[in-house]
Structure 1
Amino acid sequence: MLFRCLSSQAQLLTLAAFLGLSACSRSSSPATSGTEVSPLQSTFNTDWEFVRDVDTTMGPSLFVRADKSKSWATVMLPHTPRLEPVVTAEKQWQGISFYRRFFRVSAADTSRRVAIRFEGAMNEADVYLNGRRLMRHQGGYLPFTVELTPYLQVDAENCLVVKLNNQDNQAIPPGKPLKDLDFNYYGGLYRPVQLLVQDPLRITDAVEAARPAGGGILLHYENASAQQATLHIQTEIRNGHRTARPAKLRTVVLDADGKEVASTTTDAPLLTPGGATSVKQTFSLASPKLWSPSQPYLYRVQVAVLDEKGNSVDQQELTTGVRTIRFAPDGFYLNGQKTRLRGTNRHQEYPYLGYALSDEMQYRDAWKIKEAGFNFVRCSHYPPSPAFLQACDALGLLVMNSIPGWQFFGDAAFQRNSLQNVRDMVRRDRNHPSIVIWEAALNETDMSKPFMDQAHQAVHEELPFPTDVYTCGWMDYAYDVFIPARQHAKAPDYWHKYNKQKPILLCEYGDWEYYAQNAGFNQTAYSGLKESERTSRQLRGQGERALQQQALNFQEAYNDNFVGPAIGDANWLMFDYKRGYAPDIESSGVMDIYRLPKFAFYFYQSQYGPVPDALGFGKPMVFIASYAQPTSSRQVRVYSNCSEVELQLNGRTLARQQPDKDRYSNHLAHPSFTFTLPKFTAGTLKAVAYQNGKAAAEYTQRTPGPAHHIQLTFDKSGRELTAGRQDAVFVYATVVDAQGTPVPDATSAIQFAATGNAELLGDNPVKAEAGIATTLLRAGSTPGAVSVTATASGLPDAKLELRSVKPQ
């Protein structure tokens, strides 16, 4: 998020005294896309104190810094109440926790509006200031703002306390007790917090304003094309002064290079004390660059409130993409072009940290989804972090935003909260160009028709536009688009014969039908496989054959989804994750919980390209889905987005051939390539992919030898390790042979150590899985050099040098 400092030095010094910060404090996140915030604010994520599992009585001692009755720990946000084991019979932590923050306010700031905004507080939050409870908020996935101004102590220490309860509560979606839930919701202040210090004459917040199609800034395009687009901007201004105030609204649209392409200044009606008004502005953009997955072009919109002297007293900046969407029974149309939705599902969980991800970690997840070849992601089964949506805007990922819910339909209180989730989700996220559809439905839940009607209507009331607004639900009622899972229908036809005049999008596939319903009913070749062999739930450590089976399952299902009217699909799923109802990892991800790819990752990557998009994704690629071991199959499957592949063994060409034409490939844009080896021969397999007769990509797989040493790498995925943000990266210790080939059957216990301003999180030592042990490295408060070492019995030590950087 980009924020600007006030031009008045006096105001800056007042703010500095208030926050205890430098005179010009500005956030370090990327430019906001859809999420609206104040120009003057602190991220307010440092110097918190935390305690859990203590007496829940809200006594006076909670608000006294000198209190020694509880073991307060100093923490930064985002924060998780407990580092959770990756696999354990013990359930994740649930209970009561407290966060508190001391701060001071100068007398000069009493004329300003002071509030605090929580992006995510799980799951029920009671907010207190100086012993007074100001708000109770129910729901852990969407933001809320608390007004502090009337209750502040001037020239004295204030104490803000947040009491959090993430125990089961059937009134708060998802509602289902954690022990029965198919995902985990964690605890804590797990998303950023902002302290807002605003002029009383200000732009409102859409969620806080709580008015249909109101509050904050609302963008909408009409008649958008490559020739012209009409941009409508509605901005709500509130007057918190005790007297009426005139105001103007100055709005500027900038292109990606910062060049002004449109601007206007509009008089607002005279604002009565405490009154609010919406100012509408219209812009004509000539020859706009359209936003799409292949070219996610973003404009910047700057909106400033001017007082009667022409001074800017409040301003916000957000990014926007010019695009049109249309869902029809015959397809999804983006900017008038029929576009197949090629998607995945994503849970936001990390090992150890649960939900407490930095903005950079959110970006890296989006990067991996794009890198895997997907153009679409479903936010299963709750609204994601605004930072993830901003990354989708920037990287070019189409998004289905979803309310919290899974197989549970609660009482009237639950339904009220769920419908409020629908509205708050739309209000928070309505300006993101990446969001093309709203899942205003409870996943796999037997909802009532009145509830579905209200949820569908709520989206359209919040976005009252004749085009570009679509709802969806897993039941074929009320919603604009029908989104069943593949397994919700029976084999072998599934949804091939769906003939209603409604778009159908398969929101899950590739897992359950191979796990629990006589997997492979569609494939006679599977008849001899054991249930454990034909499932898509395969850990990386389960071996080559398991990973090949998972990849084949996804390929078979994805290919089959092209039969019939489905306009696209989203596989289950991108990353392995933990569940409340089972102690093991749900392992149908195409990457594991540590974000390491399985073979299926490369199958999907092969379905994009081979012409790179504007960001470089979709380049020519080729991958050999084999470890080239004596136990490996003689049938070698190769994934590529090119037209021909040559397979060499120890420098000798075995074959150069066209893509497969089997039942698993006949509808694919880029079928796989299957080669048959005459016999096993140790050495080097090399695949060379050709496009237009020229070599375009190659991949080498050597037969692994004995373990020789460790290679250390870390996962960057478009973002450096960033200091002062609770940012963490995966560090991978790969056991390799003398030639540097990973040894996939290595299970060495690897001990990690780190020096510099950083810390290691989670298990240590870590047992290698499929030759790789993973640790999580979190940057400290200041940038600088960091060193990680890895040691294992019988192997030389390995060392990795990296640097954490300043926030962007």
Structure 2
Amino acid sequence: YTAFYLKIDEYTHAGENELRVEVDNLHDPSVVPLKGDFNFYGGIYRDVWLEVENEVHFTKDTSLGAEQIYLTSFDTHKEKGGLQLRFHITNTGKEQEILQHLQIYDPGGNLVHQDQVPVDPGMEISKSYTLEKPVLWSPQSPALYRLKLSLWNAETLEVLDAFQTHYAFRYYRFDADSGFYLNGKPLKLIGANRHQDYPGLGNALSNDRHRKDIQLLKDMGANFFRTAHYPQDQAVLNACDSLGLLVSMEIPLDHEMTDSPEFRAQTRHMMEEMIAQHHNHPSIIIWAYMNEMFLGRKLERDQKDIQTIVDFAKEMEGLSRAKASDRYTMIPNHGQLELYERPGLTRLPMIVGWNLYFGWYEEDPENLTRFLHNYHKQVPDKPVLITEYGAGADPRIRSLNPERFDFSVDWQFQYHLSYLNQFRKMDFLSGAAVWNLFDFGSEFRQDAVPHINSKGLMSYNRKPKDAYFLYQARLTKDPFAEILPTQFPVLPASLGSEPIYWPIKVVSNLQDATIQVNGDLYPSQKLVDGFAEWKVPLVGDSLHVFAQVTGDSGKVIVREKVYYLSSALNINLGANFYFHDPETYTLWRPDQAFEEGKFFGHSEGMAYRPRQAGIGTSRGIDGTELDPLYQTQNQGLSGYHFELVPGEYEVKLLWARIDPKLDGKFMVVINGKELDEVDSRKMDEFKAISHSYRVITGKRMIIELKLSRGKTFLNGIQIISSK
């Protein structure tokens, strides 16, 4: 994840040369990452440059893949800005007098400093400059100065080499009791992590795609970015500099290390590469060098491994402070305080990061506050950041009764709402970064979308989920409003006399909102915590929502959205959520028990729920992209009832053997006619199966499952009119 230089002078010759670069990504126990919840990919996927130098040139640090022209702030505040410039010069030709020519331009493009001095090759050149009343860089105003540094032949004034970059003046500090300060003012850091992969591209994104990703983070209202879990492209950091995002960057030492001299040397070298290559970016304020190293470990059982990690962390901390004394250091840990505190790992870095998932992997989002207050009590002298938090969400899943690990967008929205409200009550908390800005590839993942970690605020293809808009409402200053739900264009039409009431939300950073639905005006509401919500009955063929949002200044925003209402009887058995197939615009309803007056429902049976959290199985299902339809199941049902318009229908039944312990054999009988025998022993585990039948029925269709062995089971039913 870091760059490298190769000098090829000795291999080239006059005329045409063939240059071929070969790399491999085979597992090597001495090279990180060894483990991680993300796809490593491989190959050359960032820019490759062929550089041709004059005999006199700025010296490259070929061992660290760096320019070796370093800019460092010193003694900077609102009255003056100090800048130290360090570089080396190489002359491989005849001796000549060389001039260094420096120009500094302010953010408005005005030349504010210029000098020209003789310099000698072969030794480090260090210059210090002070600018009066510098324009300070911040997320609100990312003011960048521009430096032009060149080497001239003193006699001919020929330009021998040139270097141009941007830089910024800012000063900052972390305080264990009162949080983060930028340019003397308190600032709560709120942002996200980001993995760099994209559908169809893997890690091989263009620079333009990288910049667009960072723009999406900025548009969310973020001021903070963690480059988990590796150094990212220079285009990413340039975008952070110009857009105003404060950055924590780390090397990919994630979970595991090898206790060998080779591993230590490689990891130290990677840390030095990262610092050298990205040193000049003013957006970077933190260097980190390991992540969740005690995950899966226990204090007594793994005492030797834990001590090995602590000893290596001491090495890495010393290296980081020596190479980059102008930045803070950090280690992010997973949410087990005693596990990290007792061996002393929390005592080493300047900042402690916590990856906390209360409300997802652990119960109750509100436990976040209790954990952090306990940390602050035990480690009162260390600033703290939440370096990860998040909940998985599949945009195809919606629930009127969301719960932990159901992968509904609605639970994710509630989760992030809870965390945002808790953050503002803890002054000692310096900030937090969502895990993750985008869904990303993780091959071993199963869940609702196999091979994808779905905790993103946006989908893998960069489409916003509802929670992304919540952050915009809470964090942005420019007037903003959006109608939710998003990415869910089809809602369930009410069937029978009892209407379905669906929550329609307006998220905004303004103050008051009102909506009209199909021409009916709903009462105006004050927006609280960035949103207002109305329960709207789903009747008719569509829902035309018109929202008007107003601010105290008189600003008015109008939004419109149309949802289609589906009366189709597509039932996801064992589920308590709605599922929308975006490819076919098909909406699947949750299961329910049959009662007179209802249009559908099961007789007997219960939902398969083998886990403490979540519905059905978390395993991926072979043979389908619609995993949530097969991951849930009703077991032990005797049948299913439907109230229909008399006529001819296609009845499609879905099965998957998701409970390996279940042994069932039964006959499918529809309206008294035996149609099919189902035997779990003849099914492959976790593989989608569907059978379709043509049925002519009266007003009531009864599907019976007549048991001959074990227990009945069924995953889905689709009733399709032949008209």
TM (norm. structure 2) is 0.67
Deviation at 1:438, TM superposition (A): 1.0
Structure-2 residue corresponding to 1:653: 521
Distance in 1, matches of 2:421 and 2:69, equals 42
Contact 1:262 / 1:283 at 8 angstroms: preserved in 2? no
Distance in 1, matches of 2:538 and 2:229, equals 47
- 1:299 matches 2:167: no
Q: 1:464 to 1:437 in 2, by over 3 A?
A: closer
Q: 1:406 to 1:695 in 2, by over 3 A?
A: same
Structure-2 residue corresponding to 1:402: 250
Distance in 1, matches of 2:108 and 2:286, equals 29
Structure-1 residue corresponding to 2:670: none
Structure-2 residue corresponding to 1:506: 386
Distance in 1, matches of 2:532 and 2:237, equals 35
Structure-2 residue corresponding to 1:581: 444
Letter in 2 for 1:315: A
Distance in 1, matches of 2:320 and 2:153, equals 34
Deviation at 1:706, TM superposition (A): 8.5
Distance in 2, matches of 1:344 and 1:561, equals 14
Distance in 1, matches of 2:98 and 2:325, equals 27
Per-residue deviation, residues 88-122 of structure 1 (Å, max 9, x unmatched): xxxxxxxxxxxxxxxxxxxxxxxxxxxxxxxxxxx
Q: 1:630 to 1:371 in 2, by over 3 A?
A: same
Structure-2 residue corresponding to 1:605: 472
Q: 1:769 to 1:692 in 2, by over 3 A?
A: farther
Give the alignment of 1:196-595 within 5 angstroms.
196-206=51-61, 208=62, 210=64, 216-241=68-93, 243-269=94-120, 271=121, 276-309=122-155, 310-329=157-176, 330-412=178-260, 413-445=262-294, 448-465=309-326, 468-474=327-333, 475-487=345-357, 492=367, 493-499=370-376, 500-511=380-391, 533-535=403-405, 538=407, 546-564=408-426, 565-582=428-445, 583-595=450-462
Q: 1:245 to 1:457 in 2, by over 3 A?
A: farther
Deviation at 1:693, TM superposition (A): 5.5
Structure-2 residue corresponding to 1:625: 485
Aligned partner of 2:583 among 738, 747, 759 = 747
Q: 1:266 to 1:205 in 2, by over 3 A?
A: same
Letter in 2 for 1:608: L
Aligned partner of 1:173 among 23, 32, 41 = 32
Structure-1 residue corresponding to 2:510: 642
TM (norm. structure 1) is 0.61
Letter in 1 for 2:119: A
Letter in 2 for 1:286: E
Distance in 1, matches of 2:264 and 2:86, equals 30
Distance in 1, matches of 2:557 and 2:256, equals 48
Distance in 1, matches of 2:274 and 2:581, equals 45
Letter in 1 for 2:507: Y
Letter in 2 for 1:280: S
Distance in 2, matches of 1:320 and 1:259, equals 14
Deviation at 1:308, TM superposition (A): 3.7
Q: 1:296 to 1:256 in 2, by over 3 A?
A: same
Q: Tell me, which stretches of 5 or more residues in structure 2 are unaligned?
A: 295-305, 334-344, 494-499, 568-578, 586-623, 629-723
Q: 1:498 to 1:768 in 2, by over 3 A?
A: closer
Deviation at 1:257, TM superposition (A): 4.2
Deviation at 1:705, TM superposition (A): 6.3
Deviation at 1:190, TM superposition (A): 0.6
Letter in 2 for 1:702: V
Letter in 1 for 2:197: E
Deviation at 1:494, TM superposition (A): 2.3
Report % sequence identity. 26
Aligned CA-pair RMSD: 3.1
Per-residue deviation, residues 213-253 of structure 1 (Å, max 9, x unmatched): x9621112233334321222112222333x55442211111
Distance in 2, matches of 1:443 and 1:301, equals 39
Distance in 1, matches of 2:536 and 2:14, equals 80
2:316 counterpart SS class: helix
Give the alignment of 1:710-721 within 5 angstroms.
none
1:292 counterpart SS class: coil
Per-residue deviation, residues 786-806 of structure 1 (Å, max 9, x unmatched): xxxxxxxxxxxxxxxxxxxxx
Q: 1:633 to 1:282 in 2, by over 3 A?
A: farther
Q: Tell me, which stretches of 5 or more residues in structure 1 are unaligned?
A: 1-140, 516-525, 539-545, 613-618, 661-669, 708-742, 750-765, 771-808
Structure-2 residue corresponding to 1:96: none
Contact 1:344 / 1:374 at 8 angstroms: preserved in 2? yes
Letter in 1 for 2:382: K
Structure-2 residue corresponding to 1:22: none
1:548 counterpart SS class: helix
1:506 counterpart SS class: strand
Letter in 1 for 2:535: T
Letter in 2 for 1:511: A
Structure-1 residue corresponding to 2:41: 186
The answer to which structure, 1 or 2, has the higher relative contact order (CA under 8 A, 6+ apart) is 1
Distance in 1, matches of 2:252 and 2:108, equals 38
Bigger CA radius of gyration:
2
Deviation at 1:496, TM superposition (A): 2.7
Distance in 1, matches of 2:259 and 2:627, equals 44
Give the alignment of 1:664-743 within 5 angstroms.
670-677=529-536, 680=539, 682-692=542-552, 694-704=554-564
Contact 1:203 / 1:237 at 8 angstroms: preserved in 2? yes
Contact 2:253 / 2:289 at 8 angstroms: preserved in 1? no
Per-residue deviation, residues 187-221 of structure 1 (Å, max 9, x unmatched): 22111111111112211234x2559xx96211122
Count of residues in Structure 1 that have an aligned counterpart in Structure 2: 525
Contact 1:256 / 1:299 at 8 angstroms: preserved in 2? yes
Contact 1:381 / 1:443 at 8 angstroms: preserved in 2? no
Deviation at 1:633, TM superposition (A): 4.2
